Amino acid sequence: MRTGATFAYSRQKFRMVGQAQHEEKRVSTERIEGLAAVLTAVRNSEGMTQPRLTQHVGLGRSVVAQRVAELESAGLITDDGYGPSTGGRAPRRLRIRAEAGYVVGVDITAQRLVVGVADLAGTLLAQLEEVVDVADGPDAVLTTAERLIDDHLESIGRIARVWAIGIGVPGPVEFRTGQPVAPPIMPGWDRYPVRDRLAQRYGAPAWLDNDVNLLALAELRTNPAASAARNMLYMRADVGVGAGLVVKGELYRGANGSAGDIGHVAIPEGGDAICRCGNTGCLEAVAGGAALAREGRMLADTRQSPALAATLAETGTVRPLDVTLAAEKGDPAARALLQRSAHLLGGMLATLVSFYNPNLLVIGGGIVRARAHVLAAIREAIYRRSLPLATQDLRIEMSSLPDDLGGVTGAVHLALDEVFSPGRLARWLDAGSPAGQPYIATDDMLERPA
Ligand SMILES: [Zn+2]
């Protein structure tokens, strides 16, 4: 009896302790989520005030006041003057304390490396660019990237305050592990621990993503139409063709990180055009920059395009940009070539619009330069082949982000979004900063060093 009673008592006690722990965990989860929501709202809109925050994050006034006070004492947000009064005392405007730390963005493209350092508001303070060949492999390219980062940090003079690093590469990335997986144009990079290498070197959490996702993220964070749209499809058409998806204001990567990788989908018009991925008939192989260069060269060789023939005679080559320049001079063959590319891209976009029903489609990459010759054809293909309901609220625009800064801007915002997300914030808030804690980028707490 006695033993039984004790046992029953212990079980009840255990249950009570369990409930208390559960309650404590729930409260702390709510607290962190509230802190992250307030922080995100302050980060993403200028001149945020406490009354607006209350509407924005859907928490009560006193809870918002508490979270704001907590973030202020943690040194993450601060006063930024007073907002407009709505009758009573003018509300304080809040801003992220941008100067509290730095984030590093690294944009690796096929032929170019851009490294930028930004403050915690995502404002680029400086960027350096260098020509690289991604085919030289990860060690050569990342050694160059590290040299540029070191130069930057030295010029700023605050090496210890790197809070986070975002990196983009021109190939498929497994987001969870921060590794490229079987990237078609990046020999030697398959499963290379890009994220972990930079995280360890700078003692800061790092994240790796593919370049198109980062362009979509840059668009989302810098284009007011994109942040208002919530459901955005971003397509980059350049040498590579790919898409990035934003769902309800957040980048959607799919199960493994490859969502939006549409460049290597076979299309009926693809025929036997050989693609750099090794397959034939890919969208990229017939509508991307390589196709423009190849077909443009053919038009020059056969003299169907006098403008491109002149370019070839002068420079010995035909680049995608030369096709656009020839079209601008009124060359009919070059115009027809751009129209064909636009038609093929538009066909793919019609499928994506039907599948996903975005309210904003942004087109970026080298194609932006050819806007006058492609936008109407892309629109036409989308509207002709999509259901009216799918396009009734659809806005289509060309990206206005500068070509050389889009990737690095996205990389910086990747680092900021991740480091301020509820799950990560919970892991560093008590320490005051994520600097010196590279392991918080990984999902597995066990990887934390003793
Ligand atoms: Zn392909």
- Find the 35 Cα to ligand 1 centroid distance in Å: 44
CB environment 104-143: b (16+ within 10 A), e (fewer): bbbbbbbebbbbbbbbbbbeeeebbeeebebeeebeebbe
- Find the 365 Cα to ligand 1 centroid distance in Å: 18
8 A C-beta contact, residue 108 and residue 169: yes
Length of the chain (residues): 450
Residue 154 neighbours by CB under 8 Å, 6+ apart: none
- Find the 270 Cα to ligand 1 centroid distance in Å: 10
Residue 172 neighbours by CB under 8 Å, 6+ apart: 180, 181, 182, 183, 210, 257, 258, 261
- Find the 281 Cα to ligand 1 centroid distance in Å: 7
8 A C-beta contact, residue 238 and residue 220: no
Residue 24's alpha-carbon distances to 11, 110, 157, in angstroms, are 20, 49, 42
- Find the 282 Cα to ligand 1 centroid distance in Å: 5
- Find the 257 Cα to ligand 1 centroid distance in Å: 18
Instruction: Give all domains of the chain, ordered by start, each with its CATH number.
Output: 2-96 (1.10.10.10), 99-217+408-447 (3.30.420.40), 224-398 (3.30.420.40)
- Find the 167 Cα to ligand 1 centroid distance in Å: 23
pLDDT recorded at residue 393: 94
- Find the 348 Cα to ligand 1 centroid distance in Å: 14
- Find the 261 Cα to ligand 1 centroid distance in Å: 10
pLDDT recorded at residue 268: 92
pLDDT recorded at residue 158: 59
Element (H, E) at 342: helix 332-356
Express each pLDDT in 161-219 by its tens digit.
Answer: 899 999 999 999 999 999 999 998 899 999 999 999 999 999 999 999 999 999 999 99
- Find the 285 Cα to ligand 1 centroid distance in Å: 6
Weakly modelled stretches of the chain, pLDDT under 50: 1-9, 445-450
- Find the 290 Cα to ligand 1 centroid distance in Å: 11
Q: Residue 405's CB: how many other CB atoms inside 10 A?
A: 19
- Find the 209 Cα to ligand 1 centroid distance in Å: 19
d(C-alpha 236, C-alpha 244), whole Å: 8
- Find the 264 Cα to ligand 1 centroid distance in Å: 4
- Find the 276 Cα to ligand 1 centroid distance in Å: 6
- Identify the burial level of 85 via C-beta atoms within 10 angstroms of its C-beta, where 0-12 means exposed, 13-18 middle and 19 or more buried: exposed
Axis crossing angle, helix 332-356 with helix 289-301, rounded to the nearest 10: 160
- Find the 211 Cα to ligand 1 centroid distance in Å: 17
pLDDT recorded at residue 374: 96
Give one DSSP letter per residue of 185-223, joined into a string: T-TT-TT--HHHHHHHHHTS-EEEEEHHHHHHHHHHHH-
Tokens 């992250």 locate to 36
8 A C-beta contact, residue 182 and residue 172: yes
Tokens 């010759």 locate to 373
- Find the 192 Cα to ligand 1 centroid distance in Å: 22
Query: Could you tell me which of 172, 215, 230 has the C-alpha nearest to residue 411?
Result: 215
- Find the 293 Cα to ligand 1 centroid distance in Å: 16
- Find the 126 Cα to ligand 1 centroid distance in Å: 35
- Find the 233 Cα to ligand 1 centroid distance in Å: 21
Give one DSSP letter per residue of 30-62, joined into a string: HHHHHHHHHHHHHHHSTTEEHHHHHHHHT--HH
Q: Which residues surround ligand 1, an ion (CB under 5 A)?
A: 264, 275, 277, 279, 282
d(C-alpha 89, C-alpha 422), whole Å: 32
d(C-alpha 179, C-alpha 316), whole Å: 38
Give one DSSP letter per residue of 399-426, joined into a string: --S-TTTHHHHHHHHHHHHHHTSHHHHH
d(C-alpha 187, C-alpha 197), whole Å: 18
- Identify the burial level of 285 via C-beta atoms within 10 angstroms of its C-beta, where 0-12 means exposed, 13-18 middle and 19 or more buried: buried
